[in-house]
Amino acid sequence: MDIQTIDQLRELYGYPSGRAKIKCLLALEKHSKNFIGHSPFLVISTTNKDYKLDASPRGGNPGFVKVIDDTTIIIPDAKGNNRVDSLSNISETGQIGLLFMIPGVDETLRINGKASIATDTQYLKLFDSEKNPPKACIVVVIEELFLHCAKAFMRSKLWDASAQIDRKELPTLGKMLNDQLNIDEPTESQEEMVKRYQKDL
């Protein structure tokens, strides 16, 4: 049977209780600010007006996302592939979801809110020290946030060195793209790709 209603979901799963029920906050406080300050990586989730979804990784030095006040954070839009999927979605709906991660920490921080794209000098100057300063920033006005438990990361052993595979077990990105797109051209090595990427970090 396909689950099609919230009532069916609740019949199957029940309801949250205890801290899981009440942990959602409306603004940053000392622990969520501290988490953001230590995080070098997050995933941005967006949707366009037709509900086409997208999830995109963002990374930088720990604390690369700037806390402006208790309900506002700024994410630099670092140099990428110019698909601007996330930015296009934000321009259409102004909605965003964030998942902050810290290497070695199994808990995550989830934030949902309103988003806009800004090129204001007051925001861009926050990232003047970057090797490749952003052309624009994502301004997030927080509507809700909460710390997410460690179970998924514990199950996956994401930070456990014993769970890591040798990169050579997978083809290079260039090889995979050539195969997917049926392109017959020389494939750059993993080392060549990393060297090329280093210029844009």
The neighbouring-strand residues paired with 109 are: 100, 147
Let me know whether 51 and 140 are in one domain: yes
Domain total for the chain? 2
Let me know whether 150 and 194 are in one domain: no
For residue 71, give Cα distances in angstroms to 26, 84, 125, 155, 165: 8, 25, 20, 32, 39
Let me know whether 193 and 135 are in one domain: no
Q: Strand order of the sheet with strand 53-59?
A: 53-59, 41-47, 95-101, 108-118, 137-148, 72-76, 66-69
Per-residue pLDDT averaged across 35-62, rounded?
97
Let me know whether 134 and 177 are in one domain: no
The tens digit of pLDDT for each residue in 79-127 reads 888 899 999 999 999 999 999 999 999 999 999 999 999 999 999 999 9
Locate tokens 């050579």: which residue? 168
Higher-confidence residue of 151 and 131: namely 151
Residue type, 55: A
Q: Would you state the structure tokens that stand for residue 39, as one six-digit string?
A: 């995080």
Higher-confidence residue of 17 and 1: namely 17
The neighbouring-strand residues paired with 116 are: 139
What integer pLDDT is reported at residue 187 of this predicted model? 87
Q: How does strand 41-47 pair with strand 95-101?
A: antiparallel
Max Cα–Cα distance, the chain, nearest Å = 57
Report how far residue 7's alpha carbon sits from residue 175's, in angstroms, rounded to the nearest whole number: 46
Let me know whether 128 and 35 are in one domain: yes
What integer pLDDT is reported at residue 33 of this predicted model? 98
What integer pLDDT is reported at residue 17 of this predicted model? 86
Residues of the domain holding 190: 165-198
The tens digit of pLDDT for each residue in 131-141 reads 889 999 999 99
SS3 content of the chain, % helix, strand, coil (to 5): 35, 25, 40
What integer pLDDT is reported at residue 16 of this predicted model? 87
- By percentage, how much of the chain surpasses pLDDT 90? 78
Let me know whether 31 and 107 are in one domain: yes
Above 90 in pLDDT, residue 159?
Answer: yes
